[in-house]
Structure 1
Amino acid sequence: MSRGGSILLDRFHHPAQVVVMGFGFAIAVGTLLLRLPLATTTGESAHWLTALFTATSAVCVTGLAVVDTSTHWSVFGEAMIALLMQVGGLGVMTLGTVFTLLVSKRLGVRARMLAQMETKTLSLADIRRIVARVVMFSLACEAVAATVLTVRFLTGYGEPFGRAAYYGVFHAVSAFNNGGFALWDDSLMRFVSDPWICLTIAVTVVVGGLGFPVVFELMRSWRRPGRWSILTRITVATTAGLLLSGTVVFLVTEWSNPGTFGPLDTAGKWLAAFFTAVMPRSGGFNVVDISQMYPSSWLVTDLLMFIGGGSAGTAGGIKVTTFGLFAFIVWAELRGEPRVNIGHRSLPEAAQRQVVAIMALGTGIVAVATYVLLVITPYTLDKVLFEVISAFATVGVSTGITTGLGSPEQVVLVVLMFIGRLGPLTLGSALALKERSRRYQLPEERVIVG
């Protein structure tokens, strides 16, 4: 590793601190690139806050935008957004590990710790092989999605090959990394009845959001569910349950809404409902006008966004694993069980504390940000809450108020996207100078709860 990298690692001893610095550096570089006159269609430098907001949204794979991506940014600017989404999706530290492998052909212990921090692997032994598989799997999924989309744009919409390939690659990268950026001003609304576009995007979003450990385990043992780890079992079961329930709820709620599902035929309504249920995982695309949805659908979307996708995936939110484990913790407490058991395994107390901490921190951050935006904006609670959760969970869908926000409100969303991508616990541990452990234990005292 270079002397500069060694100095950085010596200064920030906790791996989480380097992850935070890495993402911050990527956002800074992205802001500078998007500030170049070459990045806009007018040839003039974008406002620094517009560039910062867009770079943060891309690196944090959110998709919220204060300007129209298709008209404000040039081809160079759009390419930079796609590159930033790729960097954010794979993780700055994962890419840094790959570059280290290419240059030095070796990894030190600290570099392995950094790669483990980003990929959420449970062992340091095979980190080199894991990182290589992560990169290859990501590129392979994007290549498949890009091929399908390119062929569809070419044959179904008469686009010339160059433009069809450009659309295909951009949206494949955006979908797999759960970026949510689209090259049309209505996102994907013009394709609401096209299963080739909608299902390709939706499946790519789900695969990217499952998380690499889960995907690799499914690839190895998909025929033997009995051998799945707790992580895989909870992720698959919770994901399937949320997708099914979300599809049914959106279908029932929006069936007759003239602004969303109303004009569609039955098959189109089912397709739109499934797509709409997938996107709160952190996908960020939309095939119907979100601003025309009923407030009850906004509330369901809020819940799905807050939960998010799988651990170590490209999705945001508190993660389906956290939500699933929290349900087991609550169930064990209601039953008076001294331990939290999942199948034939017991959940460690440290993991239980982490689950509760993530839930509490996530709820607190959303509550504080919602209060701040309610004070400084004229928008109602339902719209502000939707926007805040979309930013914190790095989803990117919007009721339409983001483009009307002023500078202070945009800064709030930038901070939310940054915190949401890294995770409350990761950011908190990065701010701590060192871990502290007590060498004594105080006597217990029962406290009345509730």
Structure 2
Amino acid sequence: MAPALRYPVRAVPLAFLGAIAVATAVLMLPASRAGEGHAPFLTALFTATSAVCVTGLNVTDTPEYWSTFGHVVITVATQIGGYGIMTLSMLLALLVSQRLRLRNRLLLQAESSGLSLGNVRLLLIRGALIILVCETLIALVLTGRLWGAYDYPPGRALWYGVFHAVQAFNNCGFAIFDNSLTGFVGDWWICLPITLGVIGGSIGFPVIFELQRQWRQPSRWSVQTRLTVGGSITLLVVGFVAMLAIEWTNVRTFGPLNVPTKVLAAFVQGAMPRSGGFNSVDYSLMHDETIAITIGLMFVGGGSASTAGGIKVTTFFLLAFVIWAEIRGEPDVVIGRRRIPTATQRQAITIALIGVAIAVMGTLLLLTFTRGLRFHWALFEVVSAFATAGLSSGVTGDLPAAGQVTLIVLMYVGRLGTILAASAIALNTRHRLYRYPEERPIVG
């Protein structure tokens, strides 16, 4: 057996490091920069990591920093990173199922809509087709709107449509519009397709495959699909209502807008923390309450085996069910008439606590390296990098080199860390032939 197949948890991060290295080298070519000379190494590395890890954070002042060739490199890197993370995380989950005992393997395969390693080629083709169809639809709508309503030349409108369609579905968030989507805050034909693309990309292949087959039969959905769909809708509603209620009278954001534009802006801003990276309103002008809610939404992120980051919707809502069962004194955690194994509960707790620890350590490092940076903006940037959300208060480009390196590490760890940690924990399960005596310490 090839080493990559024997040690997949080692092969995946090496593959992403290779993609980041290649993208960095190409972005350092003079042809990638719009101005004279070549991009500095740190700038190219940050941008390449942000693209491959589908984050969208940017240290350059304007989109015009990169040439058309540079934007093509960013697009290709984003597509490779997005498709790679969706397929690799799904294949890792299937590989984990092959290591389980027969009974658990059959249960997991049933919960995964019959997916198995035996039809890997079919999975990859289906995934590529889904990405191609979704991105094509988004690109066509954006192209038509930019051409018809904003008098963009046809070629430029098509390029802008394709670029932002790729960024949207892959939950990356690079934009070649000035100030992201702020110039289109009230344009439904620009903001809505991009936002729907972000939501679609944050669902994940396993759930999409199952919805294709059983979208009319919610009672037959797996626990994975129930948590992802229900959790995603809940978070979208929470984000939308919170944005609308808190920012409604803010004279620097929603205040001057008419009612339909406020509704659209709230929907966009409520959905983008799922890992989208675009913004139609400047985050640096929002109330502190909105920033706090946005940080929470970014930390949770999107669905498993998707282009979104964070600890994942399934992890967060599984923990909510664990807490609810504990409060009610239930002996088991049950979701949709399915009992959740204790090992899965422990895995969710581990992933969540690791995420909290990384966010805390990253914030402390950023505050140490960047004097004068306010705590909530440091936390915002760190969680955005770790959750690969790509949202920024505008301070990313002003960070010192050590601060930018911190965000680079966080983007890489955040993109691969939760997936690899979950796979490593599952693959490293041990079965003892004995158990120690039980003793209960005081909790709380």
2:138 pairs with 129, 139, 145, which one?
Answer: 145
The partner residue of 1:287 within 272, 280, 301 is: 280
How do 1:216-295 residues align onto structure 2 when only pairs under 5 Å count? 216-295=209-288
- Deviation per CA, 1:78-111: give whole Å up to 9, x if none: 000010100110016948x9xxxxxxxxxxx99x
Which residue of structure 2 aligns with residue 103 of structure 1?
A: none
Question: Which of these residues, 152, 156, 173, is aligned with residue 180 of structure 1?
Answer: 173
The residue number in structure 1 matching 2:4 is 9
The CA deviation string for residues 136-165 of structure 1, in whole angstroms up to 9 with x for no partner, is 111110011111111111101000110000
CA offset at residue 376 of structure 1? 2.0
Secondary structure, in 3 states, of the residue corresponding to 2:117?
A: coil
Aligned-residue offset at 1:420: 0.7
Question: Residue 324 of structure 1: which of 317, 327, 349 is its match?
Answer: 317
The separation in 2 between residues aligned to 1:433 and 1:222, in whole angstroms, is 31
Report what 1:71 is aligned to.
64
The CA deviation at 1:191 is 0.4
Matching of residues 154-193 of structure 1 within 5 Å = 154-193=147-186
Note the alpha carbon deviations across 1:265-324, whole angstroms, 9 max, x for none: 000000000000010000000001111011110000001000111111111111111111
Give the CA deviation at 1:9: 2.4
Q: Pick one of 406, 409, 434 that aligns with 1:412.
A: 406
The yes-or-no answer on 1:133 pairing with 2:131 is no
Q: What's 1:398 paired with?
A: 392
Contact kept? 2:87, 2:305, Cα under 8 Å: no
Question: How far apart, CA to CA, are the structure 2 residues paired with 1:115 and 1:27?
Answer: 29
Letter in 1 for 2:407: L
- C-alpha distance in 2, partners of 1:225/1:325? 18
Q: 1:251 to 1:58 in 2, by over 3 A?
A: same
Tell me how far apart the structure 2 counterparts of residues 413 and 123 of structure 1 sit (CA, whole Å): 36
Contact 1:20–1:430 (CA<8 Å) still a contact in 2?
no
Mapped contact 2:165–2:197 kept (Cα < 8 A): yes
Once residues 420 and 371 of structure 1 are traced to their aligned partners in structure 2, the CA distance between those partners, rounded to angstroms, is 17
Q: For residue 384 of structure 1, what is the amino acid of its counterpart?
A: A
Structure 1 vs Structure 2: percent identity of aligned residues?
52
CA distance in 1: counterparts of 2:314 and 2:189, whole angstroms: 30
Asked whether the equivalents of residues 85 and 305 of structure 2 are also in contact (C-alpha less than 8 Å), the reply is no
For 2:97 and 2:193, the matched residues in 1 are separated by 30
- Aligned residue for 1:125, secondary structure, equals helix
- Which of 20, 23, 32 aligns to 2:16? It is 23
**Alpha-carbon separation, structure 2, partners of 1:411 and 1:437:** 40
CA contact (8 A) 2:86 2:307 kept: no
Give the letter aligned to residue 381 of structure 1. Answer: F
- Give the aligned residue type for 1:9: A
Map 1:324-363 → 2, pairs under 5 A: 324-363=317-356
Partner of 1:106: none
Map Cα deviations across residues 109-150 of structure 1 (whole Å, 9 max, x no partner): 99x849999xx9663232221111011111110011111111
CA RMSD of aligned residues (A): 2.6
Count of aligned pairs between the two proteins: 430
> What stretches of structure 1 move > 6 A for 4+ residues in a row?
114-117, 428-436
Quickly say closer, same or farther: Cα 1:184–1:228, change in 2 above 3 A: same
Give the 3-state SS of the residue equivalent to 2:307 in structure 1: coil
Counterpart of 1:193 in 2: which secondary structure? Answer: coil
C-alpha distance in 1, partners of 2:12/2:97? 9
Deviation at 1:254, TM superposition (A): 0.5
Q: Answer with 293-302 or 237-246: which moved more.
A: 237-246
Equivalent residue in structure 1 for 2:79, among 65, 75, 86: 86
1:386 alignment counterpart: 380
Describe the shift of the 1:448–1:123 C-alpha distance in structure 2 as closer, same or farther (beyond 3 A).
farther
Separation in structure 2 between the aligned mates of residue 413 and residue 28 of structure 1, nearest angstrom: 17
Contact 1:290/1:398 (8 A) holds in 2: yes
Aligned counterparts of 1:92 and 1:414: Cα–Cα separation in 2: 17
Offset at 1:431?
Answer: 11
Kindly provide the CA deviation profile for residues 182-239 of structure 1, in whole angstroms up to 9, marking residues without a partner as x: 0023001000000011110010110011111111111111111111111111111111
CA deviation vs aligned residue, 1:360-394 (integer Å, no higher than 9, x gap): 00001001111111222121111101111000000
Give the Cα separation in 1 of the matches to 2:4 and 2:227: 35
1:422 aligns with 2:409: no
Report if the CA contact (8 A) 1:17-1:430 is conserved: no
Distance change >3 Å, CA 31–CA 387, structure 1 → 2: same
Q: State which drifts further: 297-306 or 434-443.
A: 434-443
Give the distance between the partners of 2:430 and 2:232, measured in 1 at CA: 36
Which of the numbers 434, 439, 443 marks the counterpart of 1:445? Answer: 439
Cα deviation, 1:251-276, whole Å, max 9, x if unaligned, reads 11111112111111000000000000
- What is the alpha-carbon distance in structure 2 between the residues aligned to residue 123 and residue 339 of structure 1? 28
Q: 1:57 touches 1:65 (CA, 8 Å); kept in 2?
A: yes
Mark the CA change 1:244 to 1:38 in structure 2 (over 3 Å): closer, same or farther. Answer: same
Query: 1:348/1:114 Cα in 2 relative to 1: closer, same or farther (>3 Å)?
Result: closer
Provide TM-score, normalisation by structure 1. Answer: 0.90
CA distance, structure 2, for counterparts of residue 69 and residue 26 of structure 1: 24
Structure 2's unaligned 5+ residue stretches are: 100-110
* Deviation (angstroms), 1:443: 2.6
Partners of 2:96 and 2:429 in 1: how far apart? 17
Counterpart-to-counterpart distance in 2, 1:425 and 1:65: 24
The amino acid across from 1:275 in the alignment is V
- Candidates 333, 339, 362, aligned match of 1:369: 362
Q: Find the aligned partners of 2:366 and 2:63 in 1 and give their Cα distance.
A: 28
CA distance in 2: counterparts of 1:264 and 1:93, whole angstroms:
37
Shift of the alpha carbon at 1:429? Answer: 6.4
How far does the alpha carbon of each residue in 1:31-71 deviate from its partner, in whole angstroms, 9 at most, with x for none? 11111111001241211111110000001100001003521
Could you tell me whether the CA contact under 8 Å between 1:22 and 1:93 is conserved in 2?
Answer: no
Contact 1:15 1:114 in 2 (8 A): no
The answer to whether residue 270 in structure 2 is matched with residue 304 in structure 1 is: no
Instruction: Check conservation: 2:85, 2:306, Cα contact below 8 A.
Output: no
